């Protein structure tokens, strides 16, 4: 009777542990998916900002030096390799801030685009931090619940904050 009770208790504990591990693995998978979605949203906002800056530079409303500076920074940000992307996007932010683009129909759009980049980056980094926190738990590491998914990394940009 005691052996049966002990085996039953052990089976229940094993079942509860496997359910918790399965739930944790599912949660981790959902977080990795959210990281991918947040990264895609950030990439979209960065592309929109670069397109808007290039359009502003070509509109003829700025002096030629400012237009050339903005157009070059936008082109470099658009064509950057992944390892140079953060520096090029930060350079675009610095170029926008340096030119002081306060041309009326563009200032609101540009400010909105800059703000959307800030929010997208913040959201991405928050999701990455949550994912990394979960991945650093012992259960996740010991049982390799993250599989072969790469550890996500935050994106650090000068985004005009």
pLDDT value for 78 = 95
- CA torsion sign for 100, 105, 108, 110 is negative
Residue 103 — pLDDT band, cuts 50, 70, 90?
Answer: low
What mean pLDDT do residues 75-98 have? Answer: 93
Tell me the backbone φ, ψ of residue 4, rounded to 5 degrees. Answer: -65, -40
Cα 77 from Cα 75, distance rounded (Å): 5
What mean pLDDT do residues 16-42 have? Answer: 96
pLDDT value for 20 = 95
Cα 140 from Cα 122, distance rounded (Å): 25
Please give the sequence-ordered ranges of beta strands (E in DSSP) within 6-150, or none if there are none: none
> Which tokens sit at 3?
């052996």
> pLDDT (tens digit, 9 = 90+) per residue, 38-74?
999 999 999 999 999 999 988 888 889 989 999 999 9
pLDDT value for 99 = 83
Residue 160 — pLDDT band, cuts 50, 70, 90?
Answer: low
Q: What is the DSSP string of 72-91?
A: HHHHHHHT--GGGHHHHHHH
> pLDDT (tens digit, 9 = 90+) per residue, 116-136?
999 999 999 999 999 999 999
Average pLDDT, the chain: 92
pLDDT value for 101 = 65
């Amino acid at each position: 009777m005691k052996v049966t009770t002990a085996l039953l208790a052990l089976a229940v504990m094993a079942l509860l542990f496997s359910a918790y591990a399965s739930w944790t693995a599912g949660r981790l998978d959902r977080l990795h998916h959210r990281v991918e979605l947040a990264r895609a949203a950030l990439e979209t906002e960065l592309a929109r900002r670069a397109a808007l800056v290039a359009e502003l530079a070509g509109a003829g409303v700025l002096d030629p030096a400012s237009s050339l500076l903005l157009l070059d920074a936008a082109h470099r940000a658009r064509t950057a390799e992944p390892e140079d992307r953060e520096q090029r996007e930060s350079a675009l932010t610095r170029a926008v801030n340096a030119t002081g683009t306060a041309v009326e129909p563009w200032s609101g759009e540009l400010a909105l685009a800059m703000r959307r980049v800030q929010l997208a980056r913040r959201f991405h980094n928050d999701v990455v931090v949550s994912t990394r926190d979960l991945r650093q738990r012992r259960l996740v590491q010991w049982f390799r619940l993250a599989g072969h998914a790469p550890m996500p990394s935050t994106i650090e940009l000068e985004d005009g904050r």
